[in-house]
Amino acid sequence: MRIVFAGTPEFARQALTAILQAGHQVVGVLTQPDRPSGRGMKLQPSPVKQAALDAGIAVLQPRSLRLDGKFPDEARSAQAALQAWAPDVMVVAAYGLILPQWVLDLPRLGCLNIHASLLPRWRGAAPIQRAIQAGDAASGITIMQMDAGLDTGAMLLRVEQPIGPDDTGASLHDALASAGARAIVQVLGDLDAGHPPAPVPQPLDGITYADKLQKSESSLDFALPAAVLARRIRAFDPFPGTTMVLPGIDQPVKIWAAHALPPDQPGGEPAVPGAIVRTGRDGIDVATAEGLLRVTVLQKPGSRRQPADVFLQSYRAP
């Protein structure tokens, strides 16, 4: 089969690499335009672009694929290239652009999406982080036949991935990136052999949406239970991270690891949410609406992540 791949970040790069290693023919790649990154803010290629260039594959980086959008010339150029590539199928993984109908209709076998959740739960932009934040016991990969809706297409394959008590956004991302790479190779192999998986419509029950992550969500609200805050800290590692204000430090401190504890003194006068109850080698205990949050890894502005015992060597609460 002739395959076009559309993707941008590391999650997608792993899928592209697996497809190539499986011997499939990738005739072209779509990825987001280069972005400024690093201390010098120099333009950097996406992980998918770099992998495609290393493999000698042609790359397109249109800012839009809408023929009637802000960049119609780029969209028409991409359309001409896709028509010339004549793909049998397009594989899409965290591309970052909405595919208009003309793209969905162009490949003979349609467009397949590698989605990082067990659809229909967590449609949308941030399924990995929202699953941890919500306390889900499992996430997974769904290979989906794309349609015009937001992650609404029929499912070709679902692979479950347990969420462990210590999983972070980063660790679950890595596990799902590997699972997604294996899953798309399996589906492409079935298509190439003439045995396509039977599409299964998504059920109408259990639909949830994973809103895009916002930096405004970083600040920890200690009016919430400790268990909720601990999940948020794990979910938002590495982005957007979580922060709290410590007395004596002008800027918010990043919190990278914490776990919930029972209330300090059941039946006693509860501490004000956000108050530091105690500090010690095991961490910094902060009162919440329900239970204590023991913070174990912190990062001062301009510093590195530190375990609480190291952090406390240079910090004393006023």
Q: How many domains does one find in the chain?
A: 2
∠ Cα 267 268 273 (to 5°): 110
Co-location of 236 and 182 in the same domain: no
Tell me which residue range forms the domain holding 84. 2-210
Angle among Cα 114, 242, 296 to the nearest 5 degrees reads 110
Q: What is the SS3 assignment for 110?
A: coil
Q: Supply the pLDDT for residue 262.
A: 83
Per-residue model confidence (pLDDT) at position 8: 98
pLDDT at position 96: 94
- Residue 24 sits in the same domain as residue 142: yes
Residues 72-107 pLDDT 10s: 999 999 999 999 999 999 999 999 999 999 999 999
Residue with tokens 């692979």: 159
Q: Which two tokens stand for residue 93?
A: 């993984």
Flag residues of the chain having pLDDT under 50: none
H or E segment and range at residue 11:
helix 10-21
Together in a domain, 120 and 162: yes
CA-to-CA separations, 54 to 51, 184, 206, 316, in angstroms, rounded: 5, 21, 41, 51
Q: Which CATH number is 142's domain given?
A: 3.40.50.170
Q: What is the reported pLDDT for 79?
A: 98
**Residue where a domain stops, chosen among 153, 184, 210:** 210
252-306 pLDDT, tens digit per residue, is 999 999 999 987 655 556 789 999 999 999 999 999 999 999 999 999 998 999 9
User: What does pTM read for this prediction?
Assistant: 0.95
Q: Report d(CA 77, CA 307) in Å as an integer.
A: 52
What pLDDT does residue 38 have?
76
- My answer on whether 182 and 167 are in the same domain is yes
- Does residue 191 sit in the same domain as residue 235? no
Scan for tokens 């009016």, then name that residue: 223
What's the CA gap between 268 and 304, in Å, rounded? 37
- Report CA 151 to chain centroid distance, whole Å: 15
